[in-house]
Structure 1
C-alpha cells in the first residue's frame, strides 16, 4: 500500500468511471450514495454532458483538476483499460466495483492478472475487483452500491464478502454500532487484508480492526504483520470455511492431521488475532475492546439483583480463563453494612430483587474498590424499584471513577434501549445474556495477554545445508518423490540425533554393518513404494549378529511378496533404540497453501493415529512457540514424569522442533515430513524413523 493511501478514505475529489442516471445501474447507486460526500464528485461518462446535474467528462484526461480516487463501474475489459489510463494520469487510489474477473474462470483470471500488473506498474492502491466499494464516515463518504450508510464510530471493518457487509450494516445500524472505515475486499487483485490491517494500525480514528475472511492468500505475511499491529490495535475476525481442505491429498500423518482449518487456527493465534465464532460475537468483542481498558488481572466480580443470572455468569466464568474474585474481608464487612441481611455478600454479590439504584450504587462502588477485583459484570433484571436509565448512569459513573473494565447485562426489552445508549457513550457494552457479558471480558483478557507477549525471533542453528540439499536431490534419480529411512542423514545434517545405521544391498554388507553396531539391531526394508513397513512385516527388531544375513533375505522376500514391482533400495541396519526408555513423540510438517510450513508435534508411534493428540504452529517457530507446543498437547504430563515416570529432557524436544522448523523453512521443496517416532527420554531425543515428500520443481 502506498504512502498516500489515506486518499482511499479521505479523498478530496472522486471520479466515478461509469457514472449514470440509468435506473438499476450500479453507476447510479454509486452517484446517489456519494451525494453526502464532503468533497467533489466527478462523473466520467462519454455519452452524457452531466449526471445528476454535475458536469460529466468523457475521460480522465479531460478533467482539469487532479483526482484523489476513482471508482470504476464499467465492463471488465474497459475497467482494465481505465485502470491504465488512471495510472498514466497520476491517480493512485482506485476501487474497481466491476465483477467478471477471477471469479469467472480463465478469461476473467487473465484480466485480473492484467489489472494487477497495471497496478504494479503505476503503484496503484487498488481495491477489488468485484467489490461493492468502500466507506469512510469521517469523510462522509459512501463509495459503494450498498443500500445504506454506516453510522460513525471507531471500528474499521473489511470483508471478503460484499453481501456480508450489507447484512452487517443493516444489523449494526439497528444496534447503533458505528464504523470508521469499511472495505469490501473483492477479489484482492492488489490490496488484501494484510494491507488494510497495516494501514488501520496507523489510523488514529480506528480503535479496533474487524474482518470477515474466507481465506488468507499469504498467511505468513499476515501473521508477521498482525503480530506488530496487535501490540496497539486489536484485530477480531470471523473466519468461515471450516474445512479440512488439503488433508485428503496428504500422504503423511502430519498432512492428514494438520489440515487447512488447523492451519488457520494456529496462524491466527500466532498472529495475535482474536477469532469470533459468529457476527454477534465479532461485535461483542469489538465493543468491549473499543470501549474498555484491559484488566490488570483475571479476577471478576459479579453484582446482580437476581440469583439465577448471577449463577449463569459464574458458570460462564468457570468455562473461561477468568476467575471469580475472592473478596477481601473488609469488602465483605462493608457490604454487610449497606445490604439487607438476606443479601449475598460474597461473589457473586446478590443485592436482591428489591434493590434500588442506590443499593446497586453502594455495592458496585464497594466491590470495585477491592484490590482483588480486576473487572466486573453488573446484572439487573427489570423490577418496579430499579430504573434502568438511572442504573446506567450509575454504572457509567462508577466505571469512570475506578477505571476497571465493567460490562453490563440489562435483561430487559424496550426499557433497556435508552440505558444501553447511555452505557455505549461511556464505552460500556451491555448484553441481555450474562454469558455474553462474561465472554466479552474474556476477550479483553485474551487481548491483554497478546499485548504482553514478547515475540522472539526463531533460533538460527549451525547446520549443514549443502549435505541436506544433496540428500533431497537424490529424488531426481528415482521415479518417486518420497524419501524414507535412506534420508536419516538429513536429520543429522540439521543436528537432530539419530541412531547409528547403514543401508546395505547384500547379506554380507548387512553383516558388516551389524558388526559395527554394538548389540542387536533393527532391520527395515527401504522402499519408496512401501510406506507402512511394519504392517507387512518389513521391520525386524532385536536381530542378533548371527541372524542378520538370514533376516536380510527374509525382508526382501516379504517386500517382493507384498509388491513384486516395488522399488527396493536396500535394507537399513540400525542401532537398537530402547523404546521403553522414553516416550514416543512425532515432529512433522505439512506445507499449507496459505500459511506455508505447518509444524506438528504430539504423541507419536502408533498413538498418533489413535489419539490424535497433536498441536500445530506456523513455521519458523521460536523457542517459546516450541515450548508452547509441548504445553498444548493433552499428553504433556507423560513427558513431565506422570505416574512415577522420569521426566524427559524437554529442552532437547524443544530444540528438535526448532531444528526441523529451520530445515523446512530453508527448503521449501519439502512438501511434508514426519519424524516418527522421535523418542524423548531423560537423556535426550533420538529420531528413529523419517518419511518425507519432495517437490522437485522447488529444488
Structure 2
C-alpha cells in the first residue's frame, strides 16, 4: 500500500509556519514555540516578510522563498490573506496545509466564499487541508506540536480527533494531569476538506494508535464519515462524544460548526452500526478510551460483581440495571465452590459479597471461581478499606487470579490514602481501575457495547433477490409516473402496489367513487369490510374521520361511504381525494399492531423505524431506528430494542408472534429503502402480527425526485452488498468457478486461501515476509466497504462445505476518488489458467463503472509474472524513484477494460 494522503500532515519531515511571530501571546508565536519545545527533529521554517529571524530560526518572506521541500504548512494569518498563500503552496507542491485561522464559513456568506476558494485550490493540487478554524495537529512521538495549545502532551496509545479546539485543549490538560498520553491529536475545525472519514482512515492503519477518541458536533458527509469510521472500528476501538443530544444543544452545534441538523437517535444508530461506542461526558470518554485501549475484550455482556461491602455491590448492580447489563446467573457448581471458601452467610448470588473481613486469599479464590464460570463474561471487583482489609495485598491477589485469563477484570478500590498503593499495582498490571462502583460498571458497559456494536459491524445484508427484480421495476414506474404528474404523495392503491412489489404482505383493496359502487365492492370482497379515505395528502386517516371499521351489513356501506366523504371534506378540505377504498376486515384475534416506517434523516439518509402501531398522534415517536441495509441479525436487534418487543412475546392467552415473518417484513422494508431513492417517507400502520404471520393493512408513501446523475445507492449512508455482480468463469483447463464480491462470512475461506499461498506468492502479494494472517487483517480483507473498495473472489464449489477461494482481486479508492489502487493474488495451483488476467479485466470494468479514472499499483520488480500480466492489460510501468525494488504500474480507465460481465 502506498503512503496515506495524510502522511505528510501527521509525519512531516519539515514544517513551515506562515504568520510566525516573535510576539508572545500571538498564535504565530505559540505554534512556532510549540514546535521547538516539543523537540521536533525536522526542519522548521518561519514565514513572515517583516522579520529576518524568529526564535533563532531564519525567517522567509513566502513559502516559495524557502527553496526546498515543505511537507506541512501551518497558517496563522488573517483569513483574507490565505488564498494568496494557498497559491504559493500549490506552486511549492507542499504536502499538506493546516489553517488555524478563523473568519470563514462560520461568519457568513463572504466567509463561506473564501473557504470554498481555498478548498478548491487545495483539491485541485491534491493538497490535504485541515481546518479552517482549528487548533492544529500533534504527533507527540515525533515531537510534532503544530498547535497553539499551551498544554504539554505525552506520547500514548490513544488518538484524539475533534471538531472543537476548545474541547481539545481541555482534554489535553486533563490527560496531562492524569498521566495519559496521545498517539496523535487532530483538531479539524470546519472540516472543509479533510474530514473525520479521512483522518479515521489514516489512524486505522497507524501502528502507534490503539484506540481513537472523537468529539463530533456535526457530520457533513455521512457516507465518508461512516466509511472511515467502519474502517477504523474494524481494527481498533473508537469512542465518540457528541453534544447536541437535545434540541438546544443541536442548535448551538450547528451555529458553531455549520454541521447539519439531524436526529440524535439516528446518529446513535449510525455509530452502533459502525462498531463505535458513544459516551456522554468527558470522564466517560477518558474511561472508555483507557478501558478499550487496555486490550481486554468480552464475548458477551453478563457481569459478575465481587465486593467486600454490600452497599457498593448494590450500587454496582443498580448501575448495571440502568445500562441494561445483565448480572450473571452463577452456575450451581460455582455457588457450591464459593460456599466452601466463604462464610455461611454470604450472598449466595451475584453480586458476590465476600464480607467485610475478606482477605487476599478469599479475593483470589473467589475471583478464580467466578472467572471459570461459563455464565460470566466479565467481573468487576470492589474493595472498601475496612478494619481488617489489606488493600495492597488484595490487589496482588486480584492480579494473580486475573493473570492469563481471557475474561476482563475491572477494579474499584474505593477511598484515597489507604488504597493508593493497591490502585497503582492494579493499573501497572493493566487492570482497568475506577474510582466508584458505577464507573467500574460503566467500564464493563463500554466493553459490552463495543462487543455488541462489533457484531453489527460484521453485517453485510444479501443483495436483492433476483425473482423480485421485475416487480421492483414496476414499483419504480409507479413512483416515476406520480413524479411525472408533479405529485409528491402516492394514493392508497399506488402505495400498496409499491409495497407489494417487495413481497411485503399487504391487504388488497378496491377504490370506489360512489356509495353504490362501495356496496358492490363490499359484497364482492365479503363482509365485514373496512372503508378508508383514499388521499395522497392524508397520512393519518383516522385523525380526519377517514376510516370506518368492521362494517358488517351491505346496507350500511353506502352510509359509511358518505360519512367518510363528509368528515374529510370538513376536516381536510384541501386534501385531494381519489375515492374511498374498500377492503376486507381482518379478523385476527391474537394480532398486535406495530408500525414499520422509512424516513429520510437530513444527515444519514434513509432509516428504518419500528415500534408499537395504532392511532397515536405521532406514531413514530416511540420507535427504535436502524440504518439500512439490514440483515436478519440487525432486524432481530431492532425488534429487541423497540418498545413493541414486550407486546410480541407470549402473554396469558396470547401466543408469541411469528417473529420470522416480522423479520422478513423488515428485511423487505430495508430493500425498499435501498432500491427506491425517491422515497422520502413510508408508513405501514398498522401492521398486524400474530402467530400466523404479518399483514400491513395500510400504507402511506411520500416521494421526491432524485438527481439524474445520482448512482443507484448514493442516497444511502452505508453501501449495500452489490447486486448483479455474480458471474461464471471458466479456466483454461475447463474448470468452472463463480466470481462474486467478497462477504464477511468468507473469513474462514480467506484464511485458508492465504495460508495456502506459497511463501513466494505471499511475498509478492504483501511485499514482506508475512506469518499467519491476523484477525485484524482477516477483518480488513473480508469486511469491506463496498463504496470505497471492491474485492472479487473466484470461488470453487460456492455454497458448499468444500467451497474454496482460488483468487482475489481488489481495488481500494485513493483519497480524492479519482483513482484506485489494486492488488491481485492467485492460488499457486491455479496459475497459468488465465484466472488472474480475466479477474483483473472484470475488476477494471467495475472500477470504470464506479467512476474511477485510473487504476494503479505497486509491484515488486522481481515479480516477473505480475509485470507481464500488467503489460498485457495495458498498464504503464515505471520504476519507483524512491525505491528501486518497486515498479509503479498504472492504467487509465476511461474506456471499457473488457466486454461486459455476463
Superposed pair shares fold, TM > 0.5: yes
Pick from 492, 498, 502 the counterpart of residue 494 of structure 1. Answer: 502
Deviation at 1:580, TM superposition (A): 4.0
**Secondary structure at 2:50 match in 1:** coil
**Secondary structure at 1:642 match in 2:** coil
Correspondence for 2:479: 472
Measured on the aligned residues, the alpha-carbon RMSD in Å equals: 3.5
Pick from 562, 573, 576 the counterpart of residue 567 of structure 1. Answer: 576
Correspondence for 1:92: 95
Correspondence for 2:139: 136
Alpha carbons 2:330, 2:373 under 8 Å: kept: no
Correspondence for 2:159: 156
**Inter-partner Cα distance in structure 2 for 1:125 and 1:224:** 18
Indicate whether 1:437 and 2:440 are aligned. yes
Correspondence for 1:482: 489
Deviation at 1:13, TM superposition (A): 0.7
Indicate whether 1:586 and 2:595 are aligned. yes
Deviation at 1:167, TM superposition (A): 0.9
Pick from 620, 623, 638 the counterpart of residue 629 of structure 1. Answer: 638
- More deviation, 625-634/312-321: 312-321
- More deviation, 541-550/184-193: 541-550
Alpha carbons 1:523, 1:543 under 8 Å: kept: no
Indicate whether 1:119 and 2:128 are aligned. no
Correspondence for 2:533: 525
Indicate whether 1:170 and 2:177 are aligned. no
**Secondary structure at 1:323 match in 2:** coil
**Inter-partner Cα distance in structure 1 for 2:20 and 2:345:** 70
**Secondary structure at 1:665 match in 2:** helix
Correspondence for 2:614: 605
Correspondence for 2:292: 289
Distance 1:359 1:561, change over 3 A: closer
Alpha carbons 2:63, 2:89 under 8 Å: kept: yes
Pick from 530, 545, 552 the counterpart of residue 537 of structure 1. Answer: 545
Deviation at 1:312, TM superposition (A): 3.0
- More deviation, 660-669/42-51: 660-669
Deviation at 1:671, TM superposition (A): 1.6
Alpha carbons 1:244, 1:259 under 8 Å: kept: no
Correspondence for 2:464: 460
Deviation at 1:381, TM superposition (A): 3.0
Alpha carbons 2:308, 2:356 under 8 Å: kept: yes
Pick from 194, 201, 205 the counterpart of residue 202 of structure 1. Answer: 205
Indicate whether 1:377 and 2:401 are aligned. no
Correspondence for 1:670: 679
Alpha carbons 1:2, 1:124 under 8 Å: kept: no
Correspondence for 2:15: 14
Deviation at 1:9, TM superposition (A): 1.8
Deviation at 1:369, TM superposition (A): 6.1
**Inter-partner Cα distance in structure 2 for 1:215 and 1:325:** 42
Alpha carbons 2:531, 2:581 under 8 Å: kept: yes
**Inter-partner Cα distance in structure 2 for 1:680 and 1:325:** 33
**Inter-partner Cα distance in structure 2 for 1:586 and 1:334:** 48
Correspondence for 2:30: 29
Deviation at 1:601, TM superposition (A): 1.1
**Secondary structure at 2:583 match in 1:** strand
- Where do 5+ consecutive residues of structure 2 fail to align? 252-260, 709-902
Deviation at 1:533, TM superposition (A): 3.2
Alpha carbons 1:60, 1:89 under 8 Å: kept: yes
Correspondence for 1:217: 220
Indicate whether 1:321 and 2:349 are aligned. no
**Inter-partner Cα distance in structure 1 for 2:484 and 2:144:** 62
**Inter-partner Cα distance in structure 1 for 2:248 and 2:608:** 17
TM-score relative to the length of structure 2 = 0.69
**Inter-partner Cα distance in structure 1 for 2:532 and 2:516:** 16
Pick from 51, 55, 58 the counterpart of residue 58 of structure 2. Answer: 55
Deviation at 1:264, TM superposition (A): 1.4
**Inter-partner Cα distance in structure 1 for 2:659 and 2:337:** 48
Distance 1:550 1:340, change over 3 A: closer
Distance 1:675 1:6, change over 3 A: same
1:150-169 CA-partner distances (Å, limit 9, x unpaired) = 22210111112111111111
Indicate whether 1:182 and 2:185 are aligned. yes
**Inter-partner Cα distance in structure 1 for 2:503 and 2:590:** 21
Distance 1:617 1:608, change over 3 A: farther
Correspondence for 2:835: none
**Inter-partner Cα distance in structure 2 for 1:574 and 1:334:** 64
Relative contact order, CA 8 A, sep 6+: which one is greater? Answer: 1
**Inter-partner Cα distance in structure 1 for 2:454 and 2:228:** 14
- Where do 5+ consecutive residues of structure 1 fail to align? 249-257
- More deviation, 538-547/225-234: 538-547
Indicate whether 1:409 and 2:383 are aligned. no
Correspondence for 1:251: none
**Secondary structure at 1:147 match in 2:** coil
1:425-457 CA-partner distances (Å, limit 9, x unpaired) = 322222221221122123223323444553122
Distance 1:550 1:395, change over 3 A: closer
**Secondary structure at 2:403 match in 1:** helix
**Inter-partner Cα distance in structure 1 for 2:673 and 2:474:** 14
**Inter-partner Cα distance in structure 1 for 2:318 and 2:596:** 37
1:368-415 CA-partner distances (Å, limit 9, x unpaired) = 566766543333334676665565555445533545422222222255
Distance 1:636 1:209, change over 3 A: same
Indicate whether 1:41 and 2:12 are aligned. no
Deviation at 1:149, TM superposition (A): 2.1
1:631-672 CA-partner distances (Å, limit 9, x unpaired) = 222333533443222444333322222222222222333221
Indicate whether 1:280 and 2:280 are aligned. no
**Secondary structure at 1:644 match in 2:** coil
**Inter-partner Cα distance in structure 1 for 2:315 and 2:524:** 68
Indicate whether 1:616 and 2:625 are aligned. yes
**Inter-partner Cα distance in structure 2 for 1:506 and 1:544:** 17
Deviation at 1:26, TM superposition (A): 0.7
Alpha carbons 2:329, 2:349 under 8 Å: kept: no
**Inter-partner Cα distance in structure 2 for 1:489 and 1:544:** 28
Deviation at 1:33, TM superposition (A): 0.8
Deviation at 1:581, TM superposition (A): 5.9
**Secondary structure at 2:180 match in 1:** coil
**Secondary structure at 1:131 match in 2:** coil
- More deviation, 586-595/64-73: 64-73
Distance 1:93 1:398, change over 3 A: farther
